[in-house]
Structure formats: C-alpha cells, structure tokens
Amino acid sequence: MWRLYHFTLCPFSRKVRFALAVKGVTHELVQERPWEKRPEFTAMNPAGQTPVMRRSDLGGTDLILCDSVAITEHFEEALERTPLLGATPEARAETRRLVAWFDQKFYAEVNAPLLAERMYKRAVLKGAPDGGMIRQAGRMADMHLDYIDFLLERRAWISGGQFGLADIAAAAHLSVADYLAGLEWDGHEPAKTWYSAIKSRPTFRPLLAERLEGLPPPPHYDKLDF
Amino acid sequence: MWRLYHFTLCPFSRKVRFALAVKGVTHELVQERPWEKRPEFTAMNPAGQTPVMRRSDLGGTDLILCDSVAITEHFEEALERTPLLGATPEARAETRRLVAWFDQKFYAEVNAPLLAERMYKRAVLKGAPDGGMIRQAGRMADMHLDYIDFLLERRAWISGGQFGLADIAAAAHLSVADYLAGLEWDGHEPAKTWYSAIKSRPTFRPLLAERLEGLPPPPHYDKLDF
C-alpha cells in the first residue's frame, strides 16, 4: 500500500494527488505540516517538503519517493495505463516544459507569496499579511491567466491535443491560488471554461472539498459556475 | 544538429552540458544572457530562461526543448546509451530526488543569491554586492557540503552505486558556487575527493575552462588539487 504525505494547500501535493487519482493509484493520505519539521518526516525527506510517497508492502526496504517530479515520473514509468506525458517526444517535451512553468514560475510568482502571507502568516502565526506582496502576486496571477488563455486559444488542453500532466500541474497550482483568493477570473474566458471542466472531474473534486481550519476559501472556490 | 542556448554561469545550463557530453550528444553552443530578454530567445522559451535546446534538421517543425529537466529526461528517453538515471525504480527515484535537491534547494539557498550579488550586481550592474547575503549563502553552502559528505560516506557516488545525473547536477551547481568564491572546501574531504574526480573528467573540463569577462574565478577553481 502506498501512503502519501501531503499538505492540503501544497500545490505540489495537489499535483501528485490529482495525477494519482487519474492513474487510479490507491493510497492512504497523511496530512503533514512541513514547517513543524516532524523528525519522522525529515528522516524520510531531508529537504523537509511535501509531497512524499512511501510504499511499505514490499517485504524488504520501503520505497520512498520525494519531490513531485520524481513521484510523477515514477508512476509514468511504472504504470502504462493513462499516460500523462504524451505519446511523442515533442508532446512530452511540451508537457514537461509547462509542468516546470507552473512548478517553478507560477509557484515563485503567485503561490509562494500567497502561501507565505495568507496561509502561513495569517493562519499559523496569526499575524497581519503584507498587502503589497499580495497585490503583486495578484498582478502576476493575471499574467499567468493571460498565458493560459493564449495557450487554450491554440489547443484543446494545456498539455496539447489531450489532457495530461500540464493540465494537472496547472489545476493544482491554480486551485491553491484560488483557495487563497488570489485569482480574478473575469476576462479570462478560455481559462475559466477549461477550469470549469477540470472542476467537474470526479478525480479532482475531492481536492476542492478539503478545508484548512481557520482559513476558508472564497465562496466561488468549489463552484462549477464561477 | 542540436543547438544549445546556455549561459556560462547558469547551473542548469551546466547540468545539461555535462549530461550531453557524457551521453555523447554533439551540439553547437550559443551564449545567451537571459536578462537581456532577446526577442528571438523569448519566442523559443516564454519563461526566458536558459537552457534551451533546438533541433533544426528534422525537415518539418524544429524541436525545441525548454527547462533542464525536460531536456535531460528527453535524452534519457531518446538515447539508450549511458543511462544517467539508474537501472531500478529505487535508483531512479533517488537520482531524481537529488537532482531536485540541487536544482531547487541548493540553487535557492546558494547559487541564486551568489549569482544575484556577485554576478548580476557586480559584473552587469557594476554595483556593490550585499555582504550579508553572500555570508548567508556561504553558511548554506557549508550545510550542503556537509550533506554531500554524509552521502559520500555511505555510497560511491552521489547518485548511488554508479555515477549518474545526481552527480552531474551536484557538479554543475557546485562549480557555479565555486566560480563565485562561495565554497570553503576545507573540512569536507569526501566532497573534495569526489569533486576532484569529477574535475578530471574530459566531459567536465571544458566547463571549467570558460570565463565570464570581468569576473574571474578564484585561483583554485579549475585545479584538480584544491
């Protein structure tokens, strides 16, 4: 049995959870608050970050997977069903480019500041967020929604002709920014239409149902019509 | 023919160059200064970052690979010779975990501040670097060298039993920090012995021979005995 150590508002955990659901990998969930640096968690992943996956039914040593890219690449190699990277070298390169775009660029410009100000400072430290940081994250989020519109005016899915890991990565990161009231969807019809289709998927809905105690999302967060 | 758009002190470019040399992929080099945002470069990679690889001899559309992970995964899939990720799922997961460690953690804690202060502020803007930032990067670099020592006391290579992509990623990132005088090797014998072996490889030496105009490395930088 696989066990996934995740945090509800960690976009990398969400990417892995959505991918596992699409690929049909059953797993137990363990909620981890990485900033608490639980020794048993740091022993599994010295980087101290979610997500981590552990498989304990192998008889010998447990298999431990750290880092969301290592996890998704592992299941892409291990399970032929529902390939998420694409069929051709071109498609795979484009999917991986866009996964890196959301994991690195969207995360650094939008989710890292929103998580620091709205989640960590407010919900954990009970302090006041920095309004300037939040406004700057909102401006960057708008540029990212413009780029998603640009892509979706040229292709059916963010990954290309077919739904794939770039859609999963985008949905994971956008859903965290949306939970933290960092997205203004008006004026982004292609992105809205795409995200509404993602939200209606049974493999994505469990993520939208979760709440972090003391930090409710905005009312539109889990609605298909937003 | 492949063309690689790189920047001499970009650790992600160095990772790709070292990997291509080990795998024997011939390519032309184009030096790119990503902060200048050359329109032809941004058209290839909207993220505006090195490295980018382009193949123009395919007849139809050029194949463009953006992001160092997308590039190394592409060549791992395309060329069976000299596998760099490992033979088993466990080895591959460990290699990818450590590549992410250097690309994300070492980069954010050591190379990003060193490149900002010692390369961009000093060599490009001709300004004064922030000494506090540089000292903090040095403290983090020392913790990373401790972790490399810890790994190398338990295994032959950073990737595990065999040389692989985690060694390549580590060497790429460490070489940039070393160029920027950010590493204090004394007291890190396992890391030193490993890096001396890397430095002697004909596939790595061309990287050590390059210089950035106006920003010389410290005297020990390209010496095997340092």
Q: What is the pLDDT of residues A7-20, one digit of tens each?
A: 999 999 999 999 99
Say if residue B99 is in the same domain as residue B133.
yes
Q: What is the pLDDT of residues A94-107, one digit of tens each?
A: 999 999 999 999 99
pLDDT of residue B86: 96
Helix (H) or strand (E) holding B43: helix B39-44
ipTM of the complex as predicted: 0.95
| Mean pLDDT for chain A overall | 96
- Average of pLDDT values for A69-87? 96
User: Is A95 among the domain residues?
Assistant: yes
Between CA A152 and CA A141 the distance in angstroms is 16
Give the number of residues written for chain B: 226
Q: What is the pLDDT of residues B56-73, one digit of tens each?
A: 887 888 999 999 999 999
User: Is A221 among the domain residues?
Assistant: no
CATH classification of the domain holding B133: 1.20.1050.10
| Best CA proximity match to A105, nearest among A150, A140, A139, A76 | A140
Strand A63-66, strand A52-55: pairing: antiparallel
Q: Which amino acid is at B226?
A: F
Rounded percentage of chain B residues whose pLDDT exceeds 70: 100
* B 9-38 residues inside an 8 A Cβ radius of A: none
pLDDT of residue B124: 83
Say if residue A147 is in the same domain as residue A180.
yes
A70 Cα to chain B: minimum distance (Å): 5
pLDDT of residue B122: 83
Q: What is the pLDDT of residues B83-103, one digit of tens each?
A: 999 999 999 999 999 999 999
Residue B113, domain extent = 89-209
pLDDT of residue A82: 94
Answer yes or no: are the C-beta atoms of B110 and B137 closer than 8 Å. yes
- A210 vs B: CB within 8 A: no
Torsion sign, CA atoms B8, A102, B171, B134 = positive
CATH classification of the domain holding B26: 3.40.30.10
- A2 vs B: CB within 8 A: no
Between CA A191 and CA A85 the distance in angstroms is 21
Helix (H) or strand (E) holding A191: helix A189-199
Answer yes or no: are the C-beta atoms of B10 and B33 closer than 8 Å. no
Q: Pick the residue from chain B with its C-alpha nearest to A79.
A: B89
Q: What residues in chain B have per-residue pLDDT under 70?
A: none
Q: How many domains does chain A have?
A: 2
- A70 vs B: CB within 8 A: yes
Q: What is the pLDDT of residues A110-124, one digit of tens each?
A: 999 999 999 999 878
Instruction: Look up residue A170 and give its two tokens.
Output: 């985008």
| Best CA proximity match to A100, nearest among A72, A80, A140 | A72
Q: Pick the residue from chain B with its C-alpha nearest to A90.
A: B63
A6 Cα to chain B: minimum distance (Å): 16
* A 99-158 residues inside an 8 A Cβ radius of B: 100-101, 104-105, 147
Rounded percentage of chain A residues whose pLDDT exceeds 70: 100
Edge-to-edge strand ranges of the sheet holding B63-66: B27-31, B2-6, B52-55, B63-66
Question: A74 and B93 in contact by Cβ < 8 A?
Answer: yes
